[in-house]
Structure 1
Amino acid sequence: MSMKPYSKPALHLFLIALLGLLAYSNSFHVPFFLDDDGSILNNMVIKDLSRFLSGDGYAYNPRRFLGYLSVALNYRFGGLDVTGYHVFNLAVHIITAWLVYALAAVTLRTPFFAEAAPKLDEAAAPPTTMVPLFAALIFVAHPVQTQAVTYIIQRLAALATLFYVLSLVCYAKARLVQEAKGKALGLKPVSLYLLALAFAGCAMKTKEIAFTLPFVIALYEFLFFRMSTAKKLAVLAPMVLTAVVVPLGVLGSGRSMGSLLSEVNALTRVDTNVSRLDYLFTQFPVIATYLRLFFLPVNQNLDYDFPVYHSFVSLPVLLPFLLLLALFLLSLFLLRRSWDPRVRLISFGILWFFITISVESSIIPIADVIYEHRVYLPSVGAFIAFAAAASLLLRRVPALASMAAATVVVLALAGTTFARNQVWGSEVSLWSDAVRKAPNKARPHYNLALALDKVNRSDEALPHAVEAARFAPSEPYAYNLIGSIMAKTGRIEQAAAALTEAVRLAPQVPAPHVNLGDIYAKAGQTAQALEQYQIALQLMPTDADIYHKIGVVHAVSNDMDKAVIFFQCAASIAPQRPDYRVDLEKARNLLGSRVAPQMH
């Protein structure tokens, strides 16, 4: 008897991959953004694979070594062509969706479901069988995933999730084989268990969110397998021990334990002075926002203007807290219900969400209180729970009708993802979208001004730079950009005033000094130009461009001895720049001449 279409895993995997490819088909040329600059564009460590593998890569970021190794491999085979990076990201996303399918499918074969099979009548079988496919299709198509997939460096969240789910799948299969063999412990379950440990280590060396994996595996064991508590603990012990990998990675720096303990507060805080309680209070509405995006994925934003809350009893905090508490209590309530085994799967998915979101949405303050890529790993449990709930609700609906409803949902999600990726298509479109949704936040205005200035739309860029300075008057970067734009348009006095303000606000930032030096150099005020360049050079002593600028000033002043020295430094630091070498040769040829050469 031939298998029905809904029971063919190969077809399911093909549909998952096809839907993912269609939803992200317009993302392969999305440019680098934000953290991509420091992690890829200006990261010299990933640009030399042999150097990376010889130890520099691990030293650069031991906690995320595998994530950055993937970036180094991308650079080795494709340089800075964004297409290769996006192909990798999408491949990770599709494979993770396959693993979501595998996890749901293997869970339906666990002892808990085998014992509960008589409670599932024949009419409920097709919807139950479709749980893995529906969960994976939602996962691969949902627009909330775009930030983790389309924003290149956020692959760390996606890659860590891949290893995370793969580890749990290997563990579940190892336990299933072990259960089938009874007391015998064969090669296959041991091999699968060792693979689960290895992939757990890989997840934890990709991103710190994997810290929760041992706890999720323990939850999985207690919910879906039958064995004495003592034996469960023995099986789980090696996996639980992997929980130390992330803390050791955070703390491991070669310093004494005393100095590490004195810095625990700093080590569990990411670029922010927000108090732990304020961050926790803020995370209640943040998590509620994530849940809303699951069900109503509208008004997505790269840069939310999300307030920090300081009181638990304020309604924007208290109401989301009550919602989350109710959802958590529901998950515990469902654990006690036995009228249908799918309620256990719903409970597991909800608990997965809460456990995995806890790393970035608890008491460890992070500078940006909300980012959509942080929900990538938690969404695995959420979408499995949603698929199980849909299966339960549609148990009396004809199979074709339930499949038609599921098809409408996943196609709508895929279309929304495609539309969201259109927004990601350029810096101007993405930051225009962010400004529209967060009009009173400085950073979207600043980044839109940068993007517009980069494509020679300075007249449009200037108002956004001014808005950025208005919303963040103590930050130097907007004033620096204002000065740079005004200098291009010939408003020298206004440019100098803006740059002087940037220098006053942050004298340790080199860019305003360089730009102010450029203005003085163009005005023929060589002494003032050299002063600003020298300050910038002290702040950034390996910047070849500053050496070259100083060399140009000396050359224009007919001080060829000094010009040669600085041109030589620039050419040595950046040998790939032919213009530096050309100016060096000109200066050498004109050494001793009183004629001012035309330098680049």
Structure 2
Amino acid sequence: MKSGLLKNSRAQVLILLVMGALAYAGTLQAPFTASEVQTLLADPVIQDFSKVDEIVRIDQVFNGSLPRLSFAVNYLMGHRTPWGYHLVNLLIHLGVGLTFFWVVREWLILFSPGHPDSLRWLPFVAAIIHLVHPLNTQAVILTSSRPILLASLFYLLTFGFLTRFLKEFRENPKKARGSVDLLFAMACFGLGGASDPVMVTLPFMGWIFYRFYPASSKKMELEIFALALIPWIIYLIYQFTTPAPELLKEASGQRASVPLLYFLTQIKAFVFYYLPKVLLPFHLNLDPDFRLVAGVWDWTWMVALLVIVLLAAGVRAARSPLVLWASLWTFLIFMSYYGLGMDDPVVSEPRFYLPGMGLHLLLATALVALGNRHPIAAWLRMGVPALFLILTFGRGQDYRSQISLWEETARSSPHKPRVHYELARAYLNAGSADPAEKALAITLRLDSKHVPALVQLGEIYIQQKEYAKALNAYNELMRQGIKVPEVRFNSGLVLLALKRPKEAVPYLEEAVSRQPGSADWQLTLARAYHQSRRLQNALNHYRSTLQINPDQPVAHNEMGLVFWDLKSYFFADASFQKAYQLDPRYVDALNNLISSSMLFKQYDQTITYLNRLLEIHPKDDNAHQLLVAARRFQKQQESAAAPAPDDFH
């Protein structure tokens, strides 16, 4: 019997892995989102593995250290190649599915000792629903969602070991005190805390889980409850003392407390967004257009609360500990953590990855029960997961490019300015300026003061060399009192393009002072100084550029031009050489090396550089003429250096 069960479990594990992998088979090559490139991949600690100690420092352990460490390993092995990051996410997701399979089996043993044979399919069906459910697509595909995946894995592992400990404790309390399962549970809890703050809800959920069993004393029960609440209370204080995001403040219109409106909105979202998407996972959305409730007396959240009360009554009427526990898991994890999070956007599908497991278990329970009562409906056990797999695979195709992803999102959220702005960025990254301009126009029609869109529109004008339009756009922003550094920087960039470097310098100076870590901005300011003939200032900022990015050939080459203007020709030649070493096809550096080698009368080097230039541009007439001249100068040099005939006597 035992070997048969083991064999059956192995087959189920194999099916879970295959189904989970199939659901996301077409997503490994999905590109990063623009926000992931700007934040996650731009982290200097992730880019330099020698700085990994900054991630694992004791003061950084509970600041997402485990996901950042995994990103650093990803970057070390594959730099910015997306498939490696997606593969790690998928492997973690598969691990979550297998752990969920194991944990549900443990729950069945604990909640229903000697559970009937009719429930043998429940762990498998619950796990496969979680693995292939379309609502989890965003959490699995987006690299930035890895903290949620890791925390969910360790959350489940903690509960798995805790369940085994309670089972041992019920059978033999004295023996259970030395159980290794409790140590494993504590270790997993620590690793989860290093992944995502959602772990603060685990002690509280653990106490509720413990409440399903008779306590040895009321005093002990109260002590455990008090200890379990401490992490959650600390999190609660932190959330209510942290300023709300500006977008949420604007959306609330300051009509009431932003945290209160946000909490009421999450009640509404729980009923009118997340629950329907679990049961009918169609029209999923990367950035749902779900607004804060209008106020405390908004009737929509009240209706949602009434629905929750009715659902709770139904759960109670079921008189099933497992159904009650699954319901509490979904509602309490979601509301006690994400209901207080005050994150923007208000609704985000990855947030339901961990809480949604409770609903997946309830759905699996319903499918198994239906199949047991009506044999003709037994096909639903695999028919529903198969449908979910098809939907997930199709949803994954939306992620094949940033344009397809944001076009689909714009169709689902046509009235959300940020969606059209992100679509414009996707078009720009693909080099499509015209559709990007149209998307930005829609953004500004929806929100005339959308600063990033106005900045981006100015950048399009710059690319199209419509500098007057760009300058007017940035001047209008500055007249509105917009002081973001990008506006100042782009204003200086436009003035440089208009050959007005002295006017550009103040704008660029202010921008760089507020964002000194940008190599491109330091480089642009150096150019403005150079064109304004402030050569020493130019040198200083070229050096600052190279401190940030020492392997930038353009900065080395242009610093060489400053040295040339200072008549420091040897330093200029060294800079040109470094630029050429970094990029052997860098034509400007080659031309400058040709000039410097001619100056130093090193004609053999001049000929070498000219030949290299002609390999790149074989039809360069000027290079052909210079090559003829260099060879003539080389012969004259050799003739002058040759000993006279009388010297042999």
Shorter chain as denominator, the TM-score bin is 0.7 to 0.9
Alpha-carbon contact 1:331-1:348 (below 8 Å) kept? no
Shift of 1:503: 3.3
Task: Give distance in 1, aligned partners of 2:295 and 2:540.
Answer: 60
- The 3-state SS of whatever aligns with 2:460 is helix
Alpha-carbon contact 2:370-2:377 (below 8 Å) kept? no
Q: Structure 2 vs 1, CA of residues 552 and 268 (structure 1 numbering), >3 Å: closer, same or farther?
A: closer
Aligned with 1:267 (options 231, 242, 248): 242
Alpha-carbon contact 2:462-2:494 (below 8 Å) kept? yes
Aligned with 2:146 (options 155, 158, 168): 155
Task: Give distance in 1, aligned partners of 2:77 and 2:356.
Answer: 32
Matching of residues 264-413 of structure 1 within 5 Å: 265-267=240-242, 269=244, 272-273=248-249, 274=252, 275-288=258-271, 289-334=273-318, 337=319, 343-398=320-375, 401=376, 403-413=378-388
Matching of residues 140-151 of structure 1 within 5 Å: 140-151=131-142
Counterpart residue type for residue 357 of structure 1: F
Task: Give distance in 2, aligned partners of 1:331 and 1:429.
Answer: 41
Alpha-carbon contact 1:26-1:421 (below 8 Å) kept? yes
Which ranges of structure 2 fall in alignment gaps of 5 or more residues? 253-257, 570-575, 577-586, 590-649
Aligned with 1:216 (options 205, 210, 220): 205
Q: Which residue of 2 aligns with 1:133?
A: 124
Shift of 1:240: 7.1
Task: Give distance in 2, aligned partners of 1:218 and 1:548.
Answer: 57
Q: Structure 2 vs 1, CA of residues 503 and 27 (structure 1 numbering), >3 Å: closer, same or farther?
A: farther
Shift of 1:393: 2.8
Task: Give distance in 1, aligned partners of 2:291 and 2:176.
Answer: 55
Report how many residues are paired.
Answer: 565
Shift of 1:220: 2.3
Percent identity (aligned):
23
Q: Which moved more, 1:581-590 or 1:413-422?
A: 581-590
TM-align CA RMSD:
2.9
Shift of 1:345: 1.3
Q: Structure 2 vs 1, CA of residues 585 and 25 (structure 1 numbering), >3 Å: closer, same or farther?
A: same
Q: Which moved more, 1:134-143 or 1:192-201?
A: 192-201
Counterpart residue type for residue 205 of structure 1: A
TM-score under structure 2 normalisation? 0.81
Shift of 1:470: 2.1
Task: Give distance in 1, aligned partners of 2:6 and 2:372.
Answer: 15
Alpha-carbon contact 1:530-1:553 (below 8 Å) kept? yes
Higher relative contact order (CA 8 A, sep 6+): 1
Counterpart residue type for residue 301 of structure 2: V
Q: Which residue of 2 aligns with 1:488?
A: 463
Shift of 1:29: 1.5
- 1:185 lines up with 2:175 in the alignment: yes
- 1:527 lines up with 2:516 in the alignment: no
Alpha-carbon contact 1:97-1:140 (below 8 Å) kept? yes
Task: Give distance in 1, aligned partners of 2:424 and 2:243.
Answer: 33
Q: Which moved more, 1:446-455 or 1:198-207?
A: 198-207
Matching of residues 5-16 of structure 1 within 5 Å: 8-16=8-16
Aligned with 1:174 (options 157, 165, 185): 165
Shift of 1:352: 0.7
Q: Which residue of 1 aligns with 2:184?
A: 195
Counterpart residue type for residue 270 of structure 2: I
- The 3-state SS of whatever aligns with 2:509 is helix
Q: Deviations over 1:508-528 (max 9, x none)?
A: 312122222121111111122
Counterpart residue type for residue 298 of structure 1: F
Shift of 1:45: 2.3
Q: Structure 2 vs 1, CA of residues 183 and 300 (structure 1 numbering), >3 Å: closer, same or farther?
A: closer
- The 3-state SS of whatever aligns with 2:345 is coil
Q: Deviations over 1:167-188 (max 9, x none)?
A: 00001112223334x243158x
Q: Deviations over 1:346-385 (max 9, x none)?
A: 1211111111101344344333210001100111111112
